[in-house]
Amino acid sequence: MKFYSINNPTIQTSFKNAVIAGIAPDKGLYFPESITPLPADFFENIEQFSNQEIAFKAIHQFVNEDIPDEALKEIIANTLDFDFPVVQIEENVATLELFHGPTMAFKDVGARFMANCLGYFSKGEKQDVTVLVATSGDTGGAVANGFLGVDGVSVVILYPSGKVSEIQEKQLTTLGQNIEAMEVDGTFDDCQRMVKTAFLDREITDHKKLTSANSINVARWLPQMFYFLFAYKHAKSKGKELVFSVPSGNFGNICAGMVAQRLGMPCKQFIASTNVNDVVPKFMENGIYEPLPSKATISNAMDVGDPSNFVRIRHLYQDDFALLKEHLSSFSFSDEDTRTAMKAVHAQTKYVMDPHGAVGYLGLKKYQDSEPNTYGIFLETAHPVKFLDVVENSLGLSPEIPPQIKKVMGKEKKSVPISSYDDLKHFLLADH
């Protein structure tokens, strides 16, 4: 299968080259040339398949020309070696817990899948690949963990100083080996801008082979559809129309869910739940897309003012606003709304939501106000311990710290402070 640039469909390449390049030469995001629905009996009998079998069937058409079946099965086995439980919260409301992986965030799936693909592709290659990535929180830790020790791959992670949680920072600054953390004096949008500029800087790309591990990379983005399919396997027996509410920052996760729907997964609606960074909710109201500088919130992984992947969502629906509205709702919530939801759910059920999951819960409840006879699943995208100060301040309790987190807490932070694109360029061009 070919992948083409959304900006210019005549620019086409293979899955392998799309993964290694990260972004198309014209700055466009890569998109698969076709999405062929899976047979109807796959969804009718989905309970009979293991998670690894479901993932293999879902991703196969996109990668099979570049990755043989046995290698793909091994990549999936290495990616999906933890659980994806669906936990009932109240009637017609459940959460899909995506934090049981090594860095306790949903990005473990995409980061590990991409790392395994890049490791497979780099065997026998003479030139190392440098993974350059911006993070607003969890991407950095997931990418660092997924790529740690992968031969032929070095990783440079940019994160906004003082705008990620202490645990998130520890997860991306303490690993060493082939992982370098760049602490940027600025916002996530500044980090993302620097990364995009580097990809287009011939002085760097003539010297280094760069790729991105943000959800702009097809190998990070597409495998996120796996856990929507796992959740459907659970929800199918409920006998109600299914809706997903996804806490949304860069919009890769919800877009991957929409690809799962395009593969044939029954789903009535996707709900993009955001914090006060409400570019998409406003677009869904008035059809005008107006990027804005990001604002800092307690759900910091969603502090994105110009979400990269929303262009993929629009492309998936041929930029037909009426058609998009049939599949997507979007709501925005304040920090006060988020804390109130965390408190209410804990008081009623003892379930501890992280602030991102709480935004997802709020979006689902708002949608169900007008569609009460739906079965809703909101995504709990990170373990609450990763936002310890918010959870402690909101709920007056401290979640038990899991072993995945304990092992990084005592380690020394090592980061390179930078304040401009020139600082990043100098670092990338220097021999380390």
Select which of 16, 73, 107, 350 is catalytic: 107
Predicted local confidence at residue 150, as pLDDT:
85
Predicted local confidence at residue 432, as pLDDT:
58
Strand duo 93-97 + 129-134: pairing: unpaired
Q: Any bridge partners for residue 183, and if so which? A: 159, 417
Report residue 420 as tokens.
Answer: 């401009």
Predicted local confidence at residue 251, as pLDDT:
95
Sheet holding 416-418, edge to edge: 209-211, 129-134, 153-160, 179-184, 416-418
Sequence letter at residue 214: N
C-beta separation of 242 from 250 below 8 A: no
**Which positions ≥6 away from 168 have C-beta within 8 Å?**
135, 137, 138, 140, 141, 159, 386
* Whole-number Å distance between alpha carbons of 391 and 332: 20
In three state form, how does the secondary structure of the chain look?
Answer: CEEEECCCCCCEEEHHHHHHHCCCCCCCCEEECCCCCCCHHHHHCHHHCCHHHHHHHHHHHHHCCCCCHHHHHHHHHHHCCCCCCEEEEECCEEEEECCCCCCCECHHHHHHHHHHHHHHHHCCCCCCEEEEEECCCHHHHHHHHHHCCCCCEEEEEEEECCCCCHHHHHHHHCCCCCEEEEEECCCHHHHHHHHHHHHCCHHHHCCCEEECCCCCCHHHHHHHHHHHHHHHHHHHHHCCEEEEEEECCCCHHHHHHHHHHHCCCCCCEEEEEECCCCHHHHHHHHCCCCCCCCCCCCCHHHCCCCCCCHHHHHHHCCCCHHHHHHHEEEEECCHHHHHHHHHHHHHHHCCCCCHHHHHHHHHHHHHHHHCCCEEEEEEECECHHHHHHHHHHHHCCCCCCCHHHHHHHCCCCCCEEECCHHHHHHHHHCCC
* Whole-number Å distance between alpha carbons of 277 and 301: 11
Assigned CATH for 83-103+220-401: 3.40.50.1100
Predicted local confidence at residue 352, as pLDDT:
96
Predicted local confidence at residue 126, as pLDDT:
65
238 is catalytic: no
- For residue range 289-316, list pLDDT tens digits in order: 999 988 989 998 899 999 989 999 999 9
Residue ranges for the chain with pLDDT beneath 50: none
Predicted local confidence at residue 372, as pLDDT:
95
